[in-house]
Amino acid sequence: MAGTTVANVAMVEAVTMALAWEMANDDSVVVLGEDVGIYGGVFRATAGLAQRFGDDRVIDTPLAETMIAGLTIGMAAQGMKPVAEAQFMGFIYAMVDHMICHAARMRHRTRGRLSCPMVLRTPFGGGIHAPEHHSESTEAIFAHMPGLRVVIPSSPSRAYGLLLASIRDPDPVLFLEPKRIYRLNKEEVEDNGEDLPLDVCFVLRDGTDITLVTWGAMVKETLEAADKLAEQGVSAEVIDVATISPLDMDTIIESVAKTGRCVIVHEAARMCGVGAEIAAGLADAGLYHLHAPVKRVTGYDSVMPLYKMEMKYMPSVKRILNAVDEVLEVS
């Protein structure tokens, strides 16, 4: 095993650290995608890997997302652990047929004879002044697909631990990286190869008056809203969902049983978003804990606007606080 170090890194650097650790300790792990090798990826998430591990394990592919997905699934089915990259989530739709019809069904289709231990990484979400199809948050499409895990980190440490767990998982994982917070802040991450659990929420802040549920880049605004609520004497519990499929409703219900109120925050459009599934789960199994209706603070049911308007599309601290006020007004 490689020696451990502690580094003060941003999220994108934590992704690189996790890839490097697993490649150094498992020869079956390979990285592939457009410009991931010599260039180090469009966001530099694979910088230095080709020089360290060679072009037979860090593979620059043609600009052909359908081919990347098919190649990745074939490698996984034959015992390798490929980690593929789609440069933006807006390019992922050419991969959907392979992901849904093959990757997600491999274990079931072969009655357990084959599995598909692959990861598809892709940057997603708005906030960097990119065109609309580079900026959307369409995680709910994939959360609806049985057999496919959908994981979204919200900090450098969770990016490191959750990516390691995703690579080690015997089934396919879609690993969505919120690019707005790729370099937003740094934290100390120990490069020790320790993963974090999948399929569980993380309670980032304890509270007693209201539960704020979120994931990805929206963790930033949600924590800021919790700070402002604390100044007003309101104790908000903040939950980072992290794995949106399968969804850990137990942690959310346990929190709402304590607080009696819930606001869900996500960047994606409102209609059929993951927030709607969480609200339905609370109605199904947590209704008698609620003192007020569940509120959602989301993107709008429209195409992501261009950069002059994109921050107005995404939930703000003010919108979160307004939703909390509405919930707290219900006695």
Tokens of 10: 């941003």
> For the residues 226-232, what does the mean pLDDT come to?
98
> DSSP characters for 1-18?
-PPP-EEEE-HHHHHHHH
Catalytic (active-site) positions: 134
Q: Give the 3-state secondary structure of residue 158.
A: helix
Residue type, 150: V
SS3 string of 37-74?
Answer: CCCCCCCCCCCCHHHHHCCCCEEECCCCHHHHHHHHHH
Give the predicted TM-score (pTM) of the model.
0.96
Residue-wise pLDDT for 196-220, tens only, equals: 999 999 999 999 999 999 999 999 9
Residue 299 bridge partners (DSSP): 269
Identify the burial level of 79 via C-beta atoms within 10 angstroms of its C-beta, where 0-12 means exposed, 13-18 middle and 19 or more buried.
Answer: exposed
CB 321 within 8 A of CB 327: no
Residue-wise pLDDT for 76-129, tens only, equals: 999 999 999 999 999 999 999 999 999 999 999 999 999 999 999 999 999 998
The pLDDT of residue 177 is 98
Residue 214's CB: how many other CB atoms inside 10 A?
27
Residue-wise pLDDT for 158-202, tens only, equals: 999 999 999 999 999 999 999 999 999 999 999 999 999 999 999
The pLDDT of residue 1 is 47
In the chain, which ranges are continuous DSSP H helix? 11-25, 49-53, 65-77, 96-101, 106-109, 132-135, 139-143, 156-168, 218-231, 249-259, 274-285, 307-313, 317-329
Look-up of token digits 């652990």 = 81
Share of the chain above pLDDT 90, in %: 93
CA–CA separation, 150 vs 145, rounded Å? 10
The structural domains of the chain, ordered by start, are 6-190 (3.40.50.970), 202-329 (3.40.50.920)
Angle between the N-to-C axes of helices 274-285 and 249-259, in degrees from 0 to 180, rounded to the nearest 10: 60
